[in-house]
Structure 1
Amino acid sequence: MALAPEKLTELKQIIHNHLSQRDVQSRIRETVSEFVREEQPGRLGPVREDDFIQRLRQRGVIDDIMRQLQFDDGRGAPKAATHGLYADEKLTVPAVNKANVDPTRRYLYMQVLGGKAFLDHLQEPEPLPGQSPTTFTLHIHFRGQRLRSRPVPVACEPAINEGFLLELHKEAAGEAARMADTTTMLSISDPIHLVLVRTNGSGETTLVSSHFYEWRPVLASNNVRATTTVELLGTCSENKVPVGILEIQVELFPKTQQVLGEDVVRTQVNLEKGRQAEKERLFLVYAKQWWKEYLQIRPSHQDRLVKIFAQDENATNRPVCSFVKPLRAGRLLDTPRQAARFVNLIEHERVQAVGGGETREQWTTMHAFLCRSKGGCEDHALLLCSLLLGFGLEAYVCVGTKSKSSVHTWVMTISSDGLVTFWESLTGHRYIHNPIDPDEAPMGKQHQPKHPYRTIGCVFNHQNFYANCQPSNAVEVCEFELEDQARWKAMSQDAVLSVCGPGAVPHWPAFPSLCVSRLDAALVSNDLEQQLRVLVTSHRQDIDLSTAWDDQLSYLLTPALSAYEMERVTGVAAGNEEFQDSIRRAVPDGHTFKGYPIQFSHRNARRAFAACLRSPVCEEILNCRGDHVRLAVRVRVFTYPESVCATWVMFACKFKSVL
């Protein structure tokens, strides 16, 4: 099969680089000298190419070259690479440790040469027997490209030695295939977002650092290559405390003929920072005036939760509208309700203040939130709102309180006919809002709102910001006609877009795209099921009980688990009749069947088993005594983007009771 011209050019470039970098040319020269000396003595004519290639083949030079280049002849399966993969992950598709390089495009090769001075991990304890070690993983985001390093053991000097190939592409339409020149690269103001995540032996993740690396000084370096040390700082209240140092080398491929002066690059960066600071200053002046006008409407507005600014993990103040952006999931999510299910499976955790006490509010940048796969209710609501906006819905983030007057955020959508729906990002539940007229007689309990929300102060998305100025901020009496100035005070959309619009403030973090799950659902489900069987058998041995498994009964539990997950996504249960009929046929007369389903958002067998034992129903199944006791367990893992998963486990038993 003939290669396309661009592929042929790429292949020639790869072979040329290989011959230049390895000691291949010297071997070829030695073979030429030997061939002429031995078989062509005194001959003045040219050497025949076929004879020379035959000699190279006999000496094994050609075979060595082909083996080192690792060409795939189509007869063998590709080997899986370990780059960016956890050791216990079951892959859907074998990963490839090579990047497709287009010789007509410009690339930035960033190499992490190692870490040092991670003093908090100087005395890292050894993992317990059978427990995975605590690891560091470095995540990269640059202009829509997401990469990550291999997990390395946590240490004072972690061995993070990785290379990341990042494409420097143009954003203008019609110019994507043209190589970026020096002027274009100087105007690319997007920093490289470095996120360092710590994962302990049980799978718990911690955000260690979130750093934005300015790469453009490489344009002023000799050979277009620069080596720098990056000091990583902590997050939240520790954002001024260094946590470690990374040594980074960046290089352009192919190299540019023009090398800029350091003053040119420095002037460009300072000019952009000045423009950004001026935009932020003007918006702050406008926000102060807008807030003053809002307080003049009613003095009690001072106590309402109207949140205009929020701090990210680096303690940077940003308008809340900048945390939201329409996010399209491609083919990874099919419906808004599936998006809600995906968000609710991400673990919820509040940021604790140092020394205990009340939790601190922290709005994490989207890339850091996805890398850690854990965050507060604000992070969940921002992601869900962004996904719903990507699906074309009119969605807003709501800031208010729920029961017990605790501060909370959730999502609201308004349909084209005015129907208001609340989406709880932490549970995936949806509530239809039916406002109550406060002047009417009190309603019965059956008409009380089912949602948990108590008050609401403001709603916002990537373009609009509205503050509640109705006489009461109770959710059940609020009308959500946002264009009604008597009920909602709006910020100027132009003012919001001046700092939150596309490209308005380029140094603020860009939104990443979602990554496909790296997990093979069938392999992960089978592996976890086998681990649970071992744990159950060991548990019953400790209480002097034997264990007999019924594989057929285990298989019959599968439809139930599938129906449970479908109900969580769509709100509709299906297939329950067929499941019940199959169980009746599998359980003989005079026998009893008991089952216990439970769902987790992790894949740790010991954590899941410990949680099951805390349930009296499940404990009764696992400790079942009687005649002809047969146990069953079925695990079904449903995968979502970012390797988020819903893990359903069902234990069951059938037995003949002893009277």
Structure 2
Amino acid sequence: MAASLPDEKVTELRQVIHDRLSQDDMQRRIRELVSETLYNQAGKTTDDLDQQRLIGSLHSRGIIDELMTSMGLTNKQKHRPTESGEKPLHVDSSKRYLYLQVLGGKAFLEHLMDTNSSSTFTLYVHFRRQRFVSRSVVSCCEPDLREGFLLELRKDTGSNRMISAGDTLALADPIHLVLIKTDCSGESSLIGSHYMEWRRVLLSSRSRLCVAVEINGVGGEAKVPAGILELRLELMPRLEKVLSDDVVTAQIGLEHGRVAERERLFLVYAKQWWKEYLQVRPSHAHRLVKIFAQDENGINRPVCSYLSPLLAGRLLDNARQAARFVSLFGYERAPTVGGGAKTEQWCSMHAYLSKGKGDCENHAILLCCLLLGFSLDAYVCIGTKAKGMAHAWVMTIDTTGLVTFWESLTGHRYVHCPIDPDEPPAVPQPLPKYPYRTVGCVFNHQSFYANSQPSDSLDCCQFALLDETLWKCMSSDAIRSVCDVHLQPYWPVHPPLRGNTIDAGLSSHELELELRSLTTEHRQDLGLSTVWDNHLAYLLTPALAAYELERCTGLTAGNSEFQQSIRRSIADGHTFKGFPIQFIHSNARRIFASCLKSPVCTEIVTCRGDQVRLAIRVRIYPYPESTNAVWIMFACKYKSVL
């Protein structure tokens, strides 16, 4: 500042600061702060006093902000410096925050030999519809995870007033921590998931608490520690009146007791309901009626608790675009150690979004939540596909009773036209186009129906869900008692979707250049020269746009114009060949290796002949949650030789 102001202005500013610091109240507060800092650094001399820590304490107490405000140099937003070289925090003085600071990780023994690898750890945080992600660090036994997250503490009423100590204690939502490992090829895996109880910080006289959180593995390793994260919690501003240990312990115990009692009553009800269902027909025991499912932490939850309407804001425009978005998530069956039957693992929504891939159940749950957000009458269906393989998909029922199936893995839609088994053989019956064979149950966040029809074959199934002779329903009150977010705070509501931050045009161009380089190298190894045709590559863009439009809407548009442009650009006696393909990642080497597995693409890449010209066009279509539809077309043109 002194270098950019005239000397007289600097002198005037120093005088103003001196006058403000000379006030009795300000001097008393600074003396108290220095004394407290010295007390916390017992055993050290005054020469060892950490200047940065002292300045940070002045900021946290609001002394520097108050000083600057008195001189008219700040507005309502305060900038609080943090430790370890982090960026300043933007703190609104009218709100209360919980500052979650990650100090590092240790004891990740499984990754002891990962020090020199290019794989990384990333920490994802979710708290009351607030989502954060850390920077990626090298995966190792003691990862250097040092990050700070500012979590706003607010009531559901949307009041702008600062939340009180009592209201803070009433916020039962845990902080969900998800640790993801990403390898050099871009493949991600879930290391651990942990729900952290944070309200013990209310017991601290300084509103600060340091804790070591043990992150367990997932699935079959849910009881085995994967590593430890060292955390520090701090309330900002600190509480004027510290709550007693008895009050906090009693509140947490009361909440756990209520939840445990509701879960116990629901389990009793579910057992009786299942017993009644089996009495209808003994063969019902073999139908896929799934009432509970295990999450990544090994906790059995009612399947309805995995669902709630999810609003995409301005990130998705309609239901079909939502189906396209979900289909771009990677498919991955729950990992197992050893052989045997399929292991089910219904990840929580936050863990699934963080990992970016999951099994068919996770895809179906996300799609159903989005369709419910668009106010459609949507349900998750549990049944089988060909060869009796268990599967999950989504169903919607419109106001006329028309049933539509949505395949969440592909985005395809199928209209259900049931077969009437009572019709004579001469009467033609509709041929089903969907890949599903049987259905055992359907459910959403409010309802659960089990198929009570004589046959669970989907071809002749009737979806009049309110007909008790066809479907046995669960009590909506019983479902609400364990699935309502206000009654069951320990299963957090779904996190909001995050927008995509990539520059689609720049990313498309960079991937295109990488694929060109790989193609040129491949042809050089075969002793072939390579000539690129930029204009031909440009003409391929409409085709890629038409493919993506068709995946989103089911409509084909622009194909005739594309064919006309290709015909006009290909000279007489020349031949054109093209090969379009779509990926959900942008790893150039993986893409090129996959394309060469196709005989058509290999024929284009290794094209021999007269006046051979090659072209590659890449078009990336971004969707929420960093998912991308990566369309690529390889093409060539050459002069035909007899």
- The alignment's TM-score, normalised by the length of structure 2, stands at 0.86
Could you give the per-residue CA deviations for residues 3-39 of structure 1, whole angstroms, max 9, x where no partner exists? xxxxxxxxxxxx9xxxxxxxx99x9589989xxxxxx
1 CA distance for matches of 2:514 and 2:484? 50
The aligned amino acid for 1:163 is G
Mapped pair 1:183 → 2:183: no
Give the secondary-structure state (helix, strand or coil) at the position aligned to 1:321: helix
Partner residue in 1 for 2:382: 399
CA 1:249–1:550 in structure 2 vs 1: closer, same or farther (change >3 Å)?
same
One-letter code of the match for 1:113? L
State the Cα distance separating 1:440 from its structure 2 match.
2.0
State the partner residue of 1:104: 94
Please state whether the residue corresponding to 1:642 is helix, strand or coil: coil
Name the CA distance, whole Å, in 2 between partners of 1:613 and 1:99: 50
The Cα shift of 1:585 comes to 1.2
Unmatched 5+ residue regions in structure 1? 1-14, 16-23, 34-64, 70-95, 128-132
Corresponding residue of 1:563: 546
Q: Offset at 1:520?
A: 1.3
Deviation at 1:352, TM superposition (A): 2.9
Q: 2:123 aligns with which of 138, 141, 144?
A: 138
Query: Is the contact made by 1:352 and 1:358 (CA closer than 8 Å) also made in structure 2?
Result: no
Q: Which of residues 308, 320, 343 is equivalent to 1:360? A: 343
Shift of the 583–446 alpha-carbon distance from structure 1 to 2, 3 Å rule, reads farther
2:112 aligned partner, one-letter code: L
Amino acid at match of 1:487: L
Distance 1:384 1:142 in 2: 22
- Which residue number corresponds to residue 122 of structure 1? 112
Q: Which of 145, 155, 159 in structure 2 is aligned with 1:160?
A: 145
Aligned 1:164-243 pairs, distance under 5 A: 164-173=149-158, 176-243=159-226
For 1:532 and 1:444, the matched residues in 2 are separated by 55
- 1:502 Cα deviation after fit: 3.1
Matched letter for residue 625 of structure 1: R
SS in 2 for 1:327: coil
* Counterpart in the other structure of 1:311: 294
Equivalence for 1:113: 103
- Could you tell me how far apart the structure 1 residues matched to 2:486 and 2:16 are? 58
Contact 1:107/1:168 (8 A) holds in 2:
yes
Please give the alpha-carbon distance, in whole angstroms, between the structure 2 residues aligned to 1:510 and 1:157.
Answer: 32
SS of the aligned residue for 1:274 comes to: helix
* RMSD between aligned residues: 2.1
- The one of 475, 487, 498 equivalent to 2:470 is 487
What are the within-5 Å matches in structure 2 for residues 245-394 of structure 1?
245-394=228-377
State the shift of 1:565 in Å: 0.3
Report what 2:571 is aligned to: 588
What amino acid sits opposite 1:398 in the alignment?
C
CA drift of 1:412 comes to: 0.4
> In 1, are the aligned partners of 2:115 and 2:138 still within 8 Å (CA)?
no
Amino acid at match of 1:372: K
| Structure 2 equivalent of residue 518 of structure 1 | 501
Correspondence list, 1:81-100, <5 A: 100=90
Q: Does structure 1 conserve the Cα–Cα contact (< 8 Å) formed by 2:419 and 2:429?
A: no
Q: Distance in 2 between matches of 1:575 and 1:508?
A: 47
Count of residues in correspondence between the two structures: 569
Distance 1:155 1:466, change over 3 A: same
Partner residue in 2 for 1:3? none
- Partners of 1:602 and 1:112 lie apart in 2 by 30
* 1:515-554 correspondence to structure 2 within 5 Å: 515-554=498-537
Deviation at 1:442, TM superposition (A): 4.3
Quote the offset at 1:108 in angstroms: 0.4
Percent identical pairs in the alignment equals: 61
2:94 corresponds to which letter in structure 1?
A: T
Cα distance in structure 1, aligned partners of 2:461 and 2:138: 53
Q: What code does the residue aligned with 1:340 have? A: A
Counterpart among 545, 555, 562 of residue 572 in structure 1: 555
Q: State the shift of 1:102 in Å.
A: 1.5
Taking a change above 3 Å as real, the CA distance of residues 445 and 350 of structure 1, as seen in their structure-2 partners, is farther
In 2 relative to 1, CA 462–31 (structure 1 residues): closer, same or farther, beyond 3 Å?
closer
Task: Note the alpha carbon deviations across 1:441-483, whole angstroms, 9 max, x for none.
Answer: 3479983211111111110000000010000100011100000
1:457 corresponds to which letter in structure 2? G
Of residues 620, 625, 639, the one that matches 1:637 is 620
Q: Partners of 2:601 and 2:321 in 1: how far apart?
A: 29
Amino acid at match of 2:592: F
Secondary structure class of the residue paired with 2:194:
strand
Alpha-carbon distance in structure 2 between the residues aligned to 1:236 and 1:517: 29
CA distance in 2, matches of 1:182, 1:330: 32
Conserved 8 A contact 1:365-1:509: no
